Amino acid sequence: MLRAFPGEPMVADPSYRAAMAQSAHEAVRARWDMHPVHGDLVAFGSGTGLEQCSALGALLADPMAVIAPLLDDLMRVMRTHPDGHMPLRFVRTAHFTALLLGASGRAKLSLLTYEPHAPGVAAATFTHGERIEHVLRGRADATLLALDRLDEAGRAVFARMRCQLVPGARFITDCARQTLMVDPPSRPVTVLRLARAAARPDPMRQFRLSDGALIHQAAGDCDASRRELMAVLLARLAPERAPRVLAGLTQGGPDHLRWQALRECLALDTARGFAALSRLADAPGDTLQSHAAALRTDLLAQHPQLHALMKRAPCPA
């Protein structure tokens, strides 16, 4: 409700009220974004060591000194402006509820609650990155599951260590090899989580706990997945412009992106694609070198005219 002037009737336009409410929420978000932890997230997210991020260090040393005032601000604006909604991203599953407090580059800062009475989990997930969790409230038993090795059949062999989540406890995990599996608690367990993905993440892998079988694998880098999708789309939208860009993509980035770009380039422009293929095939130490060399051999066998393209390439000596 807005009062225009004393004695004037109240204005109660729902749309206007909602817009004002949202502005109030955005203002709280903007104030939070000014907190020094966000500056440190930028540095941490681009690879700076945590020891050089004093605000993040202080946050991890005494989380509630930062979280409590933030919650005060959030609850205050939610009470005075219930029509608005807090512009913070979140994730909600049967096992946990997480609010993303900040993100930059490869880093994410979240407030997370492990939900009570959650269903049991049948699989363990390993991503390529690091994670620090500081328990704020609640207690639960957990297993620190380590991916010890893969057996001859490619099944995961795990090492298990039981542990307890108690207020003040801190868990630091190398997520490519370790995962913290929290037993469903009887009451919520809330943690502050700081995570950072690897600079060049390997694929995410998910293994069945009962027998270690690999049940799912996905690109570890959302940006790379997006670039792969856009590369394929560019090849369809602009087949005359795409080969130059696609050839460039073969030079760096995750292997799945580079390989897809190479395939698309070859399909559109034989000369440019074959040149990109040859660069990979002749690059010792490149993770795609052997695949590229094998593909080049196959192509030359099937299409002998491609030898002419090889002869045109300048001698590297």
Q: Which residues bind other proteins (CB under 8 A)?
A: 14-19, 21-22, 25, 67-68, 71-72, 74-76, 78-79, 82-90, 92, 97-99, 103, 111-113, 115-116, 136-138, 187-188, 190, 217-219, 222-223, 225-234, 236-238, 241, 245, 248-249, 256, 260
Between vectors from CA 211 to CA 209 and to CA 214, what angle results, nearest 5°?
75
Q: Can you tell me the distance from the alpha carbon of 270 to that of 275, in angstroms, rounded to the nearest whole number?
A: 8
Q: Under 8 Å CB-to-CB from 309, ≥6 apart: which residues?
A: 270, 271, 274, 275
Q: In the numeric block, which tokens belong to residue 132?
A: 């620090």
| Least gap, CB of 262 to other proteins (angstroms) | 12
CA-to-CA dists, residue 135 to 47, 95, 168, 316, angstroms: 24, 16, 5, 57
CB neighbours of residue 15 within 10 Å: 8
Question: Cβ closer to other proteins: 61 or 230?
Answer: 230
Distance CA 183, CA 169 (A): 16
Amino acid, res. 247: A
**Rg of the Cα trace of the chain?**
26
The number of beta carbons lying within 10 Å of the beta carbon of residue 107 is: 25
